[in-house]
Amino acid sequence: MIGLGTWNVFDVSSRHEAETAAVLRTHVDGGTRLVDTSPMYGRAEGVLGRALAVLGARVEVVVATKIWTPSPEEGRAQLEAQLGAFGGRVDVEQIHNLVAWREHLGWLEAERDAGRIGLLGATHYREDAFEELVAVMRTGRVQSIQVPYNPVQRRCEREVLPLAAELGIGVIAMRPFAEGSLLRRPPDDPAVLPALGVETWAQALLGWCLSDRRIAVAIPATSRVEHAASNVAAGDPPWFDDDQRALVERWASGS
């Protein structure tokens, strides 16, 4: 499934909120059911909450946000703000970059048991933090994880993805375009995209990611409606076979 990331693109002033609402509408109409955000992303949580309200789409969308602070007291304040923004419930609450995860899990579990949080998760953007992420996964206390995954960042394939499959933990793939760097070097061979059955290089990268069936959702971020429409079109099968994935990998790596 294609989700929607909000890092950078939803941290906008009020005069640009109509544009973010249009991007969200395009995603929801195209089948997106998960939107990821964080208090780390400036105004993104509030902008997302208002866009969901304007569109009347809150019940359709799984809101995945994060706690990002070393302080449990500040974490509780972040949750209260999120509950206000998202209609009294956070569907997936993630510990952002594993910050103080031992301090946060206990009170988050209590909030989950009280029904204000759906699932608990953990994230990290750095591959050298995967050992600690694996330790969190092995506690049995999180139901989702979020990691970078694209054709040039594949370290999670070694242990994180196999363990997630073994434990039944859902995986959200961040940075499917490697923060946009992969989009800047599309294939110059006109036969590549037809061989993959896609129209754009962005769709090829998303298809590569989702063709690993251990990935539940990929969360590209965009501020443009036309890119949003292209991205959501990559969320349905048929998925790439091994040869097609290898073709994407060769072009992505420049080999």
Per-residue pLDDT reduced to its tens digit, 142-181: 999 999 999 999 999 999 999 999 999 999 999 999 999 9
The C-alpha atoms of residue 245 and residue 249 are separated, in whole angstroms, by 6
- 87 is written with which tokens? 């209609």
Is the distance from CB of 255 to CB of 203 less than 8 angstroms? no
- pTM confidence score: 0.95
Per-residue pLDDT reduced to its tens digit, 31-62: 999 999 999 999 999 999 999 998 887 888 99
Q: What is the mean pLDDT of residues 10-30?
A: 95
Per-residue pLDDT reduced to its tens digit, 204-230: 999 999 999 999 999 999 999 999 999
Dihedral pair phi/psi, residue 212, rounded to 5°: -85, 105
Per-residue pLDDT reduced to its tens digit, 233-255: 999 999 999 999 999 999 999 86
